[in-house]
Amino acid sequence: MKFSLLIHRPVVRQCLALLMTACTVAILTACTSTTPQPTPAQSPTVYSDPFAYCAAVGTVDAPNEQYSGPAMPEIIVQGMIQQGIVSADAPLEFQQNAVWRCMDGQVWVCHFGANLPCLERADTSQEPTAAMESFCQANPAAESIPAAATGHATVYEWRCNAGRPQVSRQVLHVDAQGYLANFWYALTPPQAAPATAAPPATPTTASLPTATLASVYAHEQVIRFDNGPLDFKAEGAVLSGQRDRYELQVVPGEMLDVWLMSLEGNAVLSILGPDGAPLPGTEEGQGVTRWTVILPAGGTHSIVVGSTGGNASYTISVHTAIPVAQPLTLQDCQALQADLTRTFGMRFNIIDAPFTDPLTGASGMACTLEANGTGADFGALPEVMSKVRSVLASWQENPSYAADSPTATATAFTRDRALLLVMASWEPRADANCPTDQPISACPLTPEQQLFSVRLQGVQY
């Protein structure tokens, strides 16, 4: 049986018309539909104000490309002054010796002071280091282990028990980013005083006394009468405006290591020499909490503890020893070599050379770093010393070693139990023919005719 399909032509035309209309609509829809285009990436906002910057970025350990201001902006310095972190009377270089970061939208600042470990992560390990083991073998019953052995970043106070290092207690705390919370302060934008305001109050930095103010001491204690080894530790508290004094006898050339810890973070110290005057670097307003020094003079010395504002509870540790000079470790010496070479743009060589402390007479061998060139390589003496200070920013300069002449300059830096002597000098080249009966300033010299030598000698005690 066969079937036939009959389709009328009008029906075919109608179907084709409908089909063409549907296709046209689909094509037009496809052509006119808009596919979302990605928006161009916008550059992040850049801030020159550190407070606005931190409010925007939240938490960063160091300013990044979104911050365009100076490394240590004046607004942060003024904020530290208003909050009593540094004194308004301190030198600008000291005021700026700080570092800042952002945490939870706020500016946090740490002032290095006398070598505080601002940039170090807190050390929470309870495992003794080799340096602690060595110290306790030599001092088996020491009540405290100095930071030269424990490191500045440990959160614990350590002691020696039967020749073995042991944690005494936790004295420092750790913030959310792993830094030592006791040394960091949340900073608020400084407020400008109204034009009609009274003169500003005296900064809250502790006014540590000289011997003429002995009557203000709330507590006095002699901690050593003779010249035997000393490992002293005590807890105390001072009310706002009060001071405590600890007295000890020392011999010339003896090393004194003092560490002051405060849960409130507002206790500071000063060290007074036999004449009652503060030792250089420990004067009022310096914010000292840790100091290691080789004392050039013997006799009665005092450690004075005060507060930068409000009441302060504290723990003080005092250690003395007769130093024996040894070269800096090769690792430390090589690190200094790399920093100096990078800063000066010329190589500093490492050599072993004899060392003599010009103040105490202590002697030994030193890690010696030396570079030679002309005035065209180094510039003027102040420029040389400025570069050296930038390399040694984490060290404490000791003005007692400072000496200057038209052709030489010298100073010294300390950190923990390390001492670094710095000498920069120049002499005229032989063909300059400078007259010997006239001062060197009378000799016209080109930079190429000045033969420079820069030498750093590092030892540890």
Radius of gyration of the chain (CA): 33
Mean local confidence (pLDDT), 385-396: 93
- Binned at pLDDT 50, 70 and 90, residue 15 comes out as very low
**Chain-centroid distance, C-alpha 251:** 31
> pTM here?
0.43
| DSSP character string of 371-417 | EEEEHHHH-SHHHHHHHHHHHTTTSEE-GGG-EEETTEEEEEEEETT
pLDDT, position 408 = 92
Instruction: Name residue 267's beta-bridge partners.
Output: 307
Neighbours of 54 (CB within 10 A): 24
Question: The tokens 């010329």 sit on which residue?
Answer: 346
Question: The tokens 């009557």 sit on which residue?
Answer: 215
**Chain-centroid distance, C-alpha 365:** 28
> What letter does residue 47 receive in the DSSP assignment?
B
Q: How far apart are the C-alpha atoms of 181 and 57, rounded to whole Å?
A: 21
Q: What is the per-residue pLDDT across 286-343, written as a single tens digit (0 to 9) for each?
A: 889 988 887 877 889 999 999 888 888 899 999 887 777 788 888 899 999 999 999 9
**Chain-centroid distance, C-alpha 11:** 94
211-321 to CATH, choices 1.10.760.10, 2.60.120.380, 3.30.930.10, 2.130.10.10: 2.60.120.380
Q: How far apart are the C-alpha atoms of 241 and 259, rounded to whole Å?
A: 21
Contacts of 324 by beta carbon, 8 Å cutoff, 6+ apart: 362, 364, 461
Q: What is the per-residue pLDDT across 87-141, written as a single tens digit (0 to 9) for each?
A: 777 778 778 888 999 999 999 999 876 467 888 899 999 999 988 998 899 888 8
User: What is the residue extent of each domain of the chain?
Assistant: 50-117+183-187, 130-171, 211-321, 326-460
Which has more pLDDT, 373 or 439? 373
pLDDT, position 63 = 93
What's the mean pLDDT when you consider all of the chain? 82
Question: The tokens 């607004």 sit on which residue?
Answer: 75
